[in-house]
Structure 1
């Protein structure tokens, strides 16, 4: 039970910080929750935080880790925290606004879809899913389900969520900030694929040859 409580505390603490920054950017609670779409965004975000505590995963270096890739974690956290505040501030200030409530609700839907796609692989991999690039005890290559088409569904989910968050504030600023996730995510995928190729050899190379990183037929 203890690991679950720790995961729950960390997840909910991060969600609380994220929401607080967005509320601050919008000018306070009343301003933030004056929009039904932003209220829906908060509900989805809280649900995702609670769900993330139950799906598993860890931050163990396991049996072998690519420590040189650890810079990606603070990079994504910085982009995420700036992305929590700045789109809300731009929304409140009327900077580079898009097209109203339809865009906001599209963002909420994308956040929910991306969150589900982000958490599903964690639930599938369980203890083998680490916040670090590492080979875990009993590590096996999973090539079924969604993994039969794409190799990094969790990172695709993260990007879709970031994109949805930006759209939910109806500003192009949020879209640009979502794009800043791409360099660290690509570096993360490169590191993971090198490590998995060294661990599983020809099996992983054949798997990589028949699948897409993120989007079949595109990348």
Structure 2
């Protein structure tokens, strides 16, 4: 994940200094709005999970499927919010190339979500 964020910043500087792949100036504001919205969505997911949240993929005996809040509509809202946040960062950096980091982050979260689902099926049936 660190590599994807580094890549985003690197390409942001690259586009700024070379002018290649540079997005228009108003994209900074669009990116900032996406960052705020994505982080708010992610934190809402984390707070909704409460004691069930863990930064490490772990299934405990007391874990239950959460069906309240936006978990009624989205299976992994914290991951979706993080992806939206990174998208906002990439757009705010005004580099079309930094959007590569969004693809990397999306793949990482997809892997993690699948790992959670697999562990849940193994533990809970």
Give the secondary structure class of the aligned counterpart of 1:161. helix
Tell me which residue corresponds to 2:80: 156
Native 8 Å contact 2:16 2:22 kept in 1: no
Post-superposition Cα deviations, 1:42-78, rounded to whole Å, max 9, x if no partner, equal: xxxxxxxxxxxxxxxxxxxxxxxxxxxxxxxxxx122
CA RMSD of aligned residues (A): 1.6
Q: Partners of 1:91 and 1:161 in 2: how far apart?
A: 20
Native 8 Å contact 1:155 1:185 kept in 2: yes
Q: Which runs of 5+ in 2 are unaligned?
A: none
TM-score by length of 1: 0.53
TM-score by length of 2: 0.88
Native 8 Å contact 2:31 2:90 kept in 1: yes
Among 8, 33, 38, the residue aligned to 1:109: 33
Tell me which residue corresponds to 1:198: 122
Native 8 Å contact 1:105 1:168 kept in 2: yes
Structure 1 stretches (4+) deviating beyond 6 angstroms?
A: none
Q: What does residue range 99-178 of structure 1 map to in structure 2 within 5 Å?
A: 99-101=24-26, 103-136=27-60, 138-178=62-102
Which structure is higher in RCO with an 8 Å CA cutoff and minimum separation 6? 2
Q: Partners of 1:91 and 1:109 in 2: how far apart?
A: 21
Q: Which runs of 5+ in 1 are unaligned?
A: 1-75, 202-219
Give the 3 Å change call, closer, same or farther, for CA 78–136 of structure 1 in structure 2.
farther
CA positional deviation for 1:182 = 2.0
Q: Which has the larger radius of gyration?
A: 1
Among 180, 189, 205, the residue aligned to 2:113: 189
Q: Partners of 2:90 and 2:80 in 1: how far apart?
A: 16
Q: Partners of 1:81 and 1:133 in 2: how far apart?
A: 24
CA positional deviation for 1:130 = 0.9
Native 8 Å contact 1:86 1:173 kept in 2: no
